[in-house]
């Protein structure tokens, strides 16, 4: 229930950056990265458990298993399980969806990247779970696919 709020902080990012067609400049990318902290700051003040969870998701969904993510540079199990799950789900969804700056990737290309990023970007146990239950994830994705 909290996962759709992981990008809440993007409301604080200028539209010209969010909707840019093409690669962001380094300055634009640094501004875009602020969405994780902005989302956390917006959601963390609530006493409601679902919003506390959403705050964690917002803050940690760009952390990487190898410690090279942002905004905190957390590594491995120092990343909350909610953040680790959302990191994988977010990449799976984003790569498989058309965006103003890119076309959707084919499934096999997405699967290849996820396998390649096991123990780098993604929790290796979660990658195994993802592929063990791939049919379920594909069914959920297809049921909730964005309508263009």
- Catalytically active residues, by annotation: 10
Nearest-5° Cα angle at 17, 91 to 25? 85
Exposure letters 103-126 (e unless 16+ CB within 10 A, then b): eebeeeebbeebeebbeebbbeeb
Q: Show Cβ contacts of residue 130 under 8 Å, excluding neighbours closer than 6 positions.
A: 88, 92, 114, 137
Residue of 66, 55, 114 lying closest to 89 (CA atoms): 114
């Amino acid at each position: 229930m909290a996962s759709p709020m992981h990008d809440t902080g993007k409301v604080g990012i200028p539209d010209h950056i969010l909707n840019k067609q093409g690669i962001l400049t380094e300055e634009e990318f640094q501004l875009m990265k602020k969405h994780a902290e902005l989302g956390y700051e917006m959601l963390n003040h609530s006493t409601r458990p679902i919003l506390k969870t959403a705050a964690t998701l917002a803050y940690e969904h760009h952390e990487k298993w190898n410690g090279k993510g942002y905004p905190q540079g957390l590594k491995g199990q120092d990343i909350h399980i909610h953040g680790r799950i959302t990191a994988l789900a977010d990449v799976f969804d984003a790569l498989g969806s058309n965006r103003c700056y890119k076309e959707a990737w084919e499934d096999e290309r997405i699967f290849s990247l996820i396998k390649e990023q096991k123990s780098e970007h993604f929790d290796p146990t979660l990658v195994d779970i993802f592929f063990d239950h791939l049919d379920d994830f594909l069914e959920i994705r297809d049921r909730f696919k964005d309508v263009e």
